[in-house]
Amino acid sequence: MGEIILTMKGIDKSFPGVHALDRVDFEVRKGEVHALMGENGAGKSTLMKVLTGIYSKDAGTIIYEGKEVDFANPREAQQAGVVIVHQELNMMGHLTVAQNIFIGREPRKGFVIDDGAMNKEARKLFVQLGIEIDPKETMSNLTVAKQQMCEIAKAISHEAKVIIFDEPTAALTDTEIEQLFAIIRDLRSRDYGIVYISHRMDEIKLITDRVSVMRDGQYIGTLITEDCTKEDIINMMVGRVIYEEPKTHSHCPPDAPVVLKVEHLNAGKMVQDVSFELRQGEILGFAGLVGAGRTETARALFGADPKQSGDIYIDGNKVDITSPKDAVEKGISYLSEDRKRYGIVLKKSIVENSTLATLKEYTSGLFINKPEEEKVTTQYVETLQTKTPSIHQLVINLSGGNQQKVVIAKWLVNDSRIMIFDEPTRGIDVGAKQEIYELMNQLAREGKSIIMISSDMTEILRMSDRILVMCEGKKTGELDIAEATQEKIMNLATRDIDMQEGKK
């Protein structure tokens, strides 16, 4: 590691009802990857937003390249060489990939934007990243994983000296993560200072040099990564021990009634002849690589995407689900992997979001029963331990993990019998994960039936009673948790790919 390129000293920031940063210290050296860790709401993203001019600080100093700075906005920070890759995607879906990457700084021929040059530069970035994305493709047509890679390409396209990665791997496959790590190591070798925010402990040990931990808006301490254990970091983050033991046997009785049966479901290329059963009180894990068709299967089941054929039975009765409204009325809920796009209304309050799926129950004529709305919202804020100064706080002001809790609360208020959790802990810290795991187990004990889609193998093995594996739109196998291993799951998750490679 080289000399210090960035120092933040005594940074203080308050919002109405929240002391978000309390005299926080942080530094970054040239040629290092410095992890910034803490539970959701600890202040990590707020600290970086203060650095990059998204928020103004209330107190403290920022020294960058030996000079005191106070960036007025992100553009000013970018021009100085401080760039952030946000956890939540900030792309514009109607524009092309290249237009998103170079927006506001497009190459020009006179007064006209030079699309050819812009596409060429974007293509160079993707070659550097080792991925194949068409710069002319409309952004909304890309998967979440590819959109995230475009966000990373955009950051790298700036002549940055400090790059902040805020949960960059949340939607990436193992192969894409390896590509990203190769890029980060290359940047480190060229003396870039890199801030790496992640909740994935294994990543921290693989890619970082130092780890700084925050808790409740305060700086707790800094550790040398190679000299500390995972348990050391977790204890600093949450002040308690977190256990991550895999499940050894199914908690669902073998004679539990089948509440949901899907037969020969087809919905485009990504859902081909998928059949399965879900029992009362069962957590059925859906495993597979990104692009396997798991989310597409859930969306077709929920009526969010049209199905071409196939039958759905609830409690043995055939049902017709053609829209999410149909699914909700039949007791099915869906917690989407992309909470900003499908799960919450960011500029509405926690109360308004919590009763979104059940608003008619709180409405009489033209009037909404506000006291009842507030009562049920308060109940689930307390149950889920959502960190907020008020149930009337706008959801956009919550951390990512607490936004996820609001989505979960919406479906708990609806009292759905069949719950689909699509990447339920994506972008959520280890402490909040524990709370959501305990909640899911409690729901299963109460007789709720859960489909859990997850790209986290540890999560699949820890939570599932039974595991369904998909590959390229097809179901390739099922495993009881008692016999499931990472190796068996991966063999099933790559079965069709292996067969196609063999044919070649």
Query: 141-183 pLDDT, tens per residue?
Result: 987 778 878 888 888 888 889 999 988 887 677 777 887 888 8
User: Nearest 10 degrees: CA dihedral of 70, 76, 81, 83?
Assistant: 100
In order along its 504 residues, the chain shows pLDDT tens digits of 689 999 999 999 998 777 899 999 999 999 999 999 987 678 898 999 999 999 999 999 999 999 999 999 998 999 899 998 876 667 788 999 999 999 888 999 888 999 999 999 999 998 887 788 999 999 999 877 788 788 888 888 888 899 999 888 876 777 778 878 888 898 899 899 999 998 778 889 999 999 999 988 999 999 999 999 888 888 888 765 555 677 899 999 999 999 999 999 999 989 999 999 999 999 999 999 777 899 999 999 999 999 999 999 999 999 999 999 999 999 999 988 777 777 889 899 999 999 988 888 898 888 889 999 999 999 999 988 888 889 999 998 887 778 888 988 898 888 789 999 998 887 676 777 888 888 899 999 999 999 999 988 889 999 999 999 999 899 999 999 999 998 899 889 887 544 444 444
Task: Please count the other Cβ atoms lying within 10 Å of the Cβ belonging to residue 260.
Answer: 25
- DSSP codes joined into one string, 318-371: EE---SHHHHHHTTEEEE-S-IIIII--TTSBHHHHHTGGGGGGGEETTEE-HH
pTM: 0.62
Residue tagged 């902040």 (tokens): 164
> Phi and psi at residue 10, in whole multiples of 5°?
60, 35
Q: Which tokens belong to 31?
A: 């040629």
Q: How far apart are CA 449 and CA 40, in angstroms?
A: 27
Domains of the chain: 4-238 (3.40.50.300), 256-331+417-504 (3.40.50.300)
The HSE-up count of residue 130 (CA atoms within 13 Å, CB side) is: 11
Q: What is the pLDDT of residues 86-103, one digit of tens each?
A: 766 677 889 999 999 998
Q: How far apart are CA 337 and CA 177, in angstroms?
A: 18
Q: How many helices (H) and strands (E) does the chain have?
A: 17, 24
**277: exposed, middle or buried (C-beta count within 10 Å: 0-12, 13-18, 19+)?**
middle
Going by their DSSP bridges, the two strands 309-314 and 317-319 should be labelled as antiparallel
Residue tagged 């293509």 (tokens): 123
Cα of 303 vs its chain's centroid, Å: 23
Edge to edge, the sheet with strand 317-319 lists 274-279, 258-266, 309-314, 317-319
Q: How far apart are CA 361 and CA 359, in angstroms?
A: 5
CB under 8 A, 24+ apart: contacts of 225-234: 225/35, 230/201, 230/205, 233/37, 233/201, 233/204, 234/201, 234/430
